[in-house]
Chains A and B, each alone.
Chain A
Amino acid sequence: MAANHHEHDHHRHDEPESDAAIRVKALESILTSKGLMDTAALDMLVDTYENRVGPRNGARVVARAWVDFAFKKRLLSDATAAVNELGFPPGPEGFNLIVLENTSKVHNLVVCTLCSCYPWSVLGLPPVWYKSPAYRARAVSDPRGVMREFGAEIDDDVEIRVWDSSAEVRYLVLPERPAGSEALSEEELAELVTRDAMIGVAKVNPPQGTAKSRKRRSRVASRV
């Protein structure tokens, strides 16, 4: 046991529940007997972060900022209030949301070097890689390399700013609006925005299939 305690196979047929699963069950049972649990509240929290609150919220914020300059100004000066306007209230944990604008000269990237702090109200819960020691270290030591892994190449003349999330402050990156998206509606713009772009490890790609991007890609396509 001691030699291979990291070798647990969590899908063994003869082990119906992992150690962690039974531990959590025990914890919950004790808390219930102490009158501290509320199953309905727990189910609602899980439902909220599995189904209701996620990066689509952030994408709507970004799209609104791209089409509405006054909103963008409010977003950059008081993001918590501006995001609340769209129906995404801050949680009771009391994080202050800050929006960082990417430009042709500055690219922002967000990490939590200590654990996993993340802007829940606009992005939901963080992906596995965001919480990994590898990302937490490499976002600081090699941000360009990290972005390359996500398929984003940042020109050498662009300044990169790495932001460390903290107890009080959570960051959302406002990516650059891609070329060729001029004719798109706010809803269509929101569809272009990815979670990774709002963390700052990627850029928002130009829309597929619009007249302009089709023209731009025609040379590539003609090889086929």
Chain B
Amino acid sequence: MSSEKPDTKNLAIGPEDEPVFRSPWEARVFSIAVHLSRRGLFTWEDFRQRLIAECNGPNASEDYYQNWLRALEGLLDDKGTLIAEEIDREIAELRANAPAPQQHSHDPGEPLRTIPANVESKRS
């Protein structure tokens, strides 16, 4: 057994009803891996071996689904389903087409619509 593991580290126990996924991308990457395996692109054991390598490798993340994502990318690359460059290219494209970030300014700006007070019904 490796003794480098953080044996005294607190477990950071969450509530029993903690959310299954902490953000939508976690749910997405989970389901993509399960779906592709069930489609027969790879066996679950293929994926599990990759996940083990990512969870225990030098680049292991504390964020579990980051490991899951890297495992999936690596496996798809191995299988020739897609290559890493394709993902980088697609990301660049998505970023280029992404709408400008919201500013969340505290300046109230213009109201979307203004309905004037009904002082006097006037027809034009």
Residues in B neighbouring A46, C-beta threshold 8 A: 21, 27-28, 30-31
Complex: chain A residue closest to B21, CB-CB: A50
Kindly provide the distance from the CB of A195 to the nearest chain B CB, expressed in whole angstroms: 6
- Is B9's CB under 8 angstroms from A124's CB? no
A27 to B11, CA, bound (A): 32
**A27 and B72 contact, CB distance less than 8 A:** yes
Q: A127-B14, A128-B18 are in contact. Are A115 and B55 (CB under 8 A)?
A: yes
* A93 and B37 within 8 A (CB): yes
Mask, A124-152, CB within 8 Å of B = 1, is 11011101111111101110001001100
Contact of B94 among A26, A31, A45, A93 (CB under 8 A): A26
A21-B23, A42-B32 given; A133·B6 CB < 8 A = yes
Interface size on A, residues (CB 8 A): 62
The proximity string for B residues 40-73 relative to A, scoring 1 for CB distances below 8 Å and 0 otherwise, is 0100110010011001100010111110010011
Q: B99's closest neighbor in chain A, by CB?
A: A16
Question: Contact at A42–B9, with CB atoms within 8 Å?
Answer: no
Q: Is the CB of B51 within 8 A of A115?
A: yes
Task: Decide: B7 and A141 in contact? CB cutoff 8 A.
Answer: yes
Would you call A195 and B16 a contact (CB within 8 A)? yes
Q: In the complex, are the beta carbons of B21 and A21 less than 8 A apart?
A: no
State the Cβ distance, A151 to closest chain B Cβ, in Å.
10
Inter-chain contact B35/A45, CB cutoff 8 Å:
yes
Contact B18 A127 (CB under 8 A): yes
CA of A54 to CA of B13, assembled, Å:
18
Closest chain A residue to B27 by CB distance? A46
What's the least CB distance linking A30 to chain B, in Å? Answer: 5
A84: chain B residues within 8 A (beta carbon):
none
Give per-residue flags for A97-110: 1 if the beta carbon is below 8 A from chain B beta carbons, else 0. Answer: 00000000000000
B101 within 8 A of A: yes
Q: Provide the bound-state CA to CA distance between A23 and B87, in Å.
A: 7
> A10 to chain B: which residues have CB within 8 Å?
23
Contact call A134/B6, Cβ cutoff below 8 A: yes
B7 adjacent to A137 (CB under 8 Å) = yes
Q: Smallest Cβ distance from A136 to chain B, in angstroms?
A: 8
Q: Which residue of A lies closest to B86 (CB)?
A: A30
Chain B residues near A167 (CB-CB < 8 A): 45, 48
Task: Please tell me if the beta carbons of A26 and B14 are within 8 angstroms of each other in the complex.
Answer: no
Residue numbers in B under 8 Å from A29 (CB-CB): 90, 94
A36 lies within 8 A of chain B by Cβ: yes
* Inter-chain contacts of A129 with B (CB < 8 A): 11-14
Residues 132-186 (chain A) with a chain B CB within 8 angstroms: 132-138, 140-142, 146, 149-150, 167
Give min CB distance, A2 to chain B, whole Å: 14
B20 contacts the other chain (Cβ, under 8 Å)? yes
Q: Which of A34, A43, A50, A54 contacts B81 (CB 8 A)?
A: A34
Task: From the candidates B32, B52, B64, B66, name the one contacting A128 in the complex (CB within 8 A).
Answer: B64
- On chain B, the residues within 8 Å of A117 by CB distance are 48
Q: Enumerate 14 A-B pairs (CB-CB under 8 Å) in ascending A order.
A: A10-B23, A27-B73, A42-B32, A45-B34, A116-B64, A124-B20, A127-B18, A129-B13, A134-B7, A136-B5, A138-B8, A141-B7, A142-B7, A167-B45
